[in-house]
Chain A
Amino acid sequence: AQKVTQAQTEISVVEKEDVTLDCVYETRDTTYYLFWYKQPPSGELVFLIRRNSFDEQNEISGRYSWNFQKSTSSFNFTITASQVVDSAVYFCALKTDRGSTLGRLYFGRGTQLTVWP
C-alpha cells in the first residue's frame, strides 16, 4: 500500500526565516515519484517539484530545495528566506508505476504554512 505522512499540521514562521516541511512515504514499489504541491486559498494545487526514486540527487531551485533520502523514506522540502506569499497548504504526494494505479497520486494531509510579516 502507498502512504504519505506529513506529521506537521501547522507551521508558523516570521518572514525571512527558513522553513522545512517534512514528508515520509511508504511504498513497496521500486520505481516511484514524489511531488510537492502548494495550495493557496484559491484551491488550485500548484506543482512545485518532482523527484524520481532512482535519482537521489538533491537540488536547489531558487528559494526551494529538497532533501530526498531513500534510506529513511523521506522527502523534505525547504523554503529559504520565507515570504508572506509562501503562506499556503503544502502537500507531499507519491505516485507509483503500477499500471492499475497509473497517474494516481497519494497525498499527505498537508501542512499549513503561515508566514508572518
Chain B
Amino acid sequence: DAGVTQSPTHLIKTRGQQVTLRCSPISGHKSVSWYQQVLGQGPQFIFQYYEKEERGRGNFPDRFSARQFPNYSSELNVNALLLGDSALYLCASSRLTQLGEGRTGELFFGEGSRLTVL
C-alpha cells in the first residue's frame, strides 16, 4: 500500500507569492494534518481536517488555509509568502473513523514539501 504522498517535493518561491501544497493520505485514512517544520525545530501543528471539515488549527496567521476533498486528499495554501515561511511542510494521515476514535493511533507522515522563500 502506498504511504502518504506529497507534492511537490521541493519548490522555490519569492516573497509575496502564493503556494499550494498537496497531500494524498494512506488509503482508508480520513484524517489529514499539516505541520510546519522550520530548520532545527520540531514540527508545529497547522491544521487538521477530518471528513472535509477543519477540526483543529494551530497558531498560524490567516495567510495559511487548507481544504480536504471528497477523496480525502488535501491542499495547503499559503498566501503572501514571507521569508519565515521557508520550511519543510509535512502532511500526516491517521485512521480516524469518527471523532474520538483512533485518538491513540499514530500519525503516518509523508516526506514533506520543502519550501524555500527568497
A residues contacting B by CB (< 8 A) are: 4, 33, 35, 37, 42-47, 50, 52, 91, 93, 95, 97, 99-110
Contacts and interface: CB of A to CB of B under 8 A. Distances in A.
B114 A104 contact: no
* Most A CB within 10 A of own CB, among B88, B94, B106: B106
B108 to A, nearest CB: 7
A39 to B, nearest CB: 9
Chain A to chain B: the 10 pairs with minimum beta-carbon distance, closest first: A107-B42, A45-B109, A44-B111, A43-B112, A47-B106, A104-B45, A43-B111, A103-B48, A109-B42, A107-B43
Interface of B: 31, 33, 35, 40-45, 48, 50, 55-56, 58, 88, 90, 92, 94, 96, 99-100, 103-104, 106-112, 114
12 contacts: A35-B106, A43-B90, A43-B112, A44-B111, A50-B104, A91-B43, A102-B55, A102-B100, A103-B50, A104-B56, A104-B58, A105-B35
Contacts of A108: 42
A37 B111 CA distance: 13
B104 A110 contact: no
